[in-house]
Structure 1
Amino acid sequence: MAKKTKRILKIVLGVIVFLTLPTLVFFGFVYFKYNEDLPTGIQGEQADALATKMLESLDYEAYKNTNYLEWTFKKRHHYEWQKDKNICTVFWKDYKVELQLNNPSESKAFIHSFRVHDQQAQELIDQATIYFNNDSFWLVAPYKVFDKDTERRLVTTKDGEQALLITYTSGGSTPGDSYLWLLKENGKPKSFRMWVDILPIGGLEASWSNWTKTESGAQLPTFHKMLLFGLEMDNIKGTE
């Protein structure tokens, strides 16, 4: 019996090693190839001017006048955001949550169209808030560079180009995260590098491309590439 148990444990251990070793090797390769310290930069007028140039390249006025945004993130979460009222309805699986972003205590949660209450509702509301904070950032992050509690710094990259470092000192789900925006000559974003709490590797780069223009004139991305992975946004609508 002991022999059989030992053999089973050996097989289980072998399977675990077989499954995890490639992951560990890949993580190690990515870490040593891409991990970078957070760059330093200079706050002040030049940083603010570069942030303004980026906003102008994306027609920030059109985004400001966009009162309604709708999109689907990775075919998993769907959003209907009344931006002018700061109310967003979040759909995933069999759940629907009406987030009152200005008054979170008034948010409502539903399962199969039936409203739920108390702890079950709060858990769904908390989950929807996390989804919204993450998924809306991948849609509208360039427009948030002058949000409250943001710090802007002008950084000179190794290639001698000017880049914009944004640090969010509060708010969202992970305050303290930093993003280095790499820009085209006209100021339009082409990618950013991330130093974020949820990633163990600093400086990973994600593309900002495949832009679409909504009916309201706001310019929004439909796809981001990061290493071998992609983040897709579709069903994007924006109206005044």
Structure 2
Amino acid sequence: ALNYEAYQNTNYLEWTFRNTNHYKWDKNKGKCEVIWKDFKVILDFNASDNNRAFVHNFEVQDEQANELIDKAVRYFNNDSFWLIAPYKVFDKGTSRQLIRLEDGKTGLLVTYSQGGSTPGDSYLWQFDATGKPSSFRMWTSIIPIQGLKASWEGWITSESGATLPTKHKIAFLTLNMGEVKGTK
């Protein structure tokens, strides 16, 4: 329902998580520009020695750079998950299990034993009639309410053909993804 092949062939993704953290991710080159407040970090996922950090467009070094880079990695791991999680269910270190839900439908329980910033987290996906994810329930180390439900909605088909969400709702909170772009 989401066109995994189109996602695989998407070279560039851009989005803004909660109107705060801005991302320009070149998947082919393994680089991502992360911008928040007065900070910009250029992450190189293939060679972390090439990571660079800036404050007010001036490059910083040493401890300040390391702190900003660590924060940018945490932001990226979290915020990209809200964009591409459905495409990560077969990543290395995941386990999957079909679960009978209370309404009689089938859900997919995905547990991430490695990768990201919080290994061990689990998500129980629910799907609409077309097979597209409609929500998941979260059991994570950073959210104190276990089994919290988050919607996956506002789906768009990007220029690359990948299907991506533009927002999520968790109780009374809406997580906007900004203007989501995906190109080849």
Q: TM-score when scaled to structure 2?
A: 0.98
SS of corresponding position for 1:170: coil
Match of 2:113 in 1: 169
Match of 1:136 in 2: 80
TM-superposed CA distance for 1:200, in Å, is 1.4
SS of corresponding position for 1:121: helix
Higher share in helix: 1
Aligned pair count reads: 184
- Which residue of 97, 120, 141 corresponds with 1:153? 97
TM-superposed CA distance for 1:86, in Å, is 1.5
Match of 2:169 in 1: 225
SS of corresponding position for 2:86: helix
**Worse-matched range after superposition: 209-218 or 101-110:** 101-110
What are structure 2's unaligned runs of at least 5 residues?
Answer: none
2:24 is the alignment partner of 1:80: yes
SS of corresponding position for 2:7: helix
Q: Which has the larger radius of gyration?
A: 1
TM-superposed CA distance for 1:160, in Å, is 1.4
SS of corresponding position for 2:168: strand
What are structure 1's unaligned runs of at least 5 residues?
Answer: 1-56
SS of corresponding position for 2:76: helix
SS of corresponding position for 1:136: helix
**Residue by residue, what CA displacement relative to the aligned partner does 1:65-101 show, whole Å, maximum 9, x if unpaired?**
0000011111101000001122100011111100011
TM-superposed CA distance for 1:103, in Å, is 2.0
Higher share in strand: 2
Match of 1:111 in 2: 55
Match of 1:39 in 2: none
Q: TM-score when scaled to structure 1?
A: 0.75
TM-superposed CA distance for 1:201, in Å, is 1.5
> 1:133 corresponds to which letter in structure 2?
N
TM-superposed CA distance for 1:215, in Å, is 0.6
**Whole-Å separation in 2 of the counterparts to 1:184 and 1:91:** 34
TM-superposed CA distance for 1:235, in Å, is 2.0
> 1:213 corresponds to which letter in structure 2?
T
**Whole-Å separation in 2 of the counterparts to 1:136 and 1:145:** 14
RMSD of aligned residue pairs (Cα, Å): 0.8
**Whole-Å separation in 2 of the counterparts to 1:127 and 1:149:** 23
